[in-house]
Amino acid sequence: MEIVELFQGVFQIKMNDNLLLATLNLIPGRSVYGEHLISTEDDEFRSWNPYRSKLAAAILKGIGHMPISAGSKVLYLGAASGTTCSHISDIIGEMGHVWAVDFASRPLRDLVDNVARYRVNISPMMADARLPGSYPALIPTVDVIYADVAQPDQYKILVRNSELYLRAEGWAMMAIKARSVDVTRPPNEVYREQIEGLDDNGFDILEMVDLEPYEKDHAMVIARRSA
């Protein structure tokens, strides 16, 4: 077995000629979504499925920046049932925290029951990401906003949240779902429009990667709030 750290807290493990993306399990012995647990003499890792996590897909597609690291404070918009959120929990560790927002009751219940119950660095919140002023008064200024929302105004949602919660020179990661923005237009045109929206609202665009073959008509944008 060979283990290489790609980013802080993100590992690539070679096992029997197979390469697996993984995070160090914050709760040893417990999986979240049936992922493979990989034990070494000292540690336990959780395999990270890029077909179930856009962040994992972006890492495997070669992003050059990974803003989420040990101790990060993260606002996650569109956390759903918590697959990606659980790996972020691993990465940020006990000194970090993720505030996980979703407006759908069923996936949020799964997030609470299967993930946040065992991971004290996750705070689930049932709320509408389009209305960040309605969140409970518990969220501090964060280092990173991770946005994965299937709405036509994706960049506007991120911008509104950043105005309230993102620190100066903080980071944004946005999973663009082209078909959720406009099903009639080419994905590259949609990506460009969303990127320009961030750029016009005080973000420096650092990179964008297309997430195929893991996700069709999806891209991940990484940006940083201007000083």
pTM for the predicted model, two decimal places: 0.95
Inform me whether the pLDDT recorded for 49 exceeds 80. yes
| Residue 91: predicted pLDDT | 98
Q: Which among 148, 150, 85 has a CA at the least distance from the CA of 117?
A: 85
Interatomic CA distance for residues 220 and 65, integer angstroms: 11
| Residue 190: predicted pLDDT | 87
Sorted by where each begins, the domain ranges of the chain are: 2-49, 55-225
Lowest mean pLDDT among 23-27, 143-147, 191-195: 191-195
Inform me whether the pLDDT recorded for 80 exceeds 80. yes
Pick the CATH number of 2-49 from 3.30.200.20, 3.30.450.90, 3.40.50.720, 3.60.21.10: 3.30.200.20
pLDDT band per the 50, 70, 90 thresholds, residue 1: confident
- DSSP character for 194? H
Inform me whether the pLDDT recorded for 227 exceeds 80. no
How much of the chain exceeds pLDDT 70, in percent?
Answer: 100
Quote the mean pLDDT of the chain. 94
Tell me how crowded residue 206 is: count the other CB atoms within 10 A of its CB: 15
| Residue 40: predicted pLDDT | 92
pLDDT band per the 50, 70, 90 thresholds, residue 213: very high
Pick the CATH number of 55-225 from 3.30.9.10, 3.40.50.150, 3.40.50.11540, 3.10.450.50: 3.40.50.150
Rounded to 10°, the helix 187-200/154-165 angle is 30
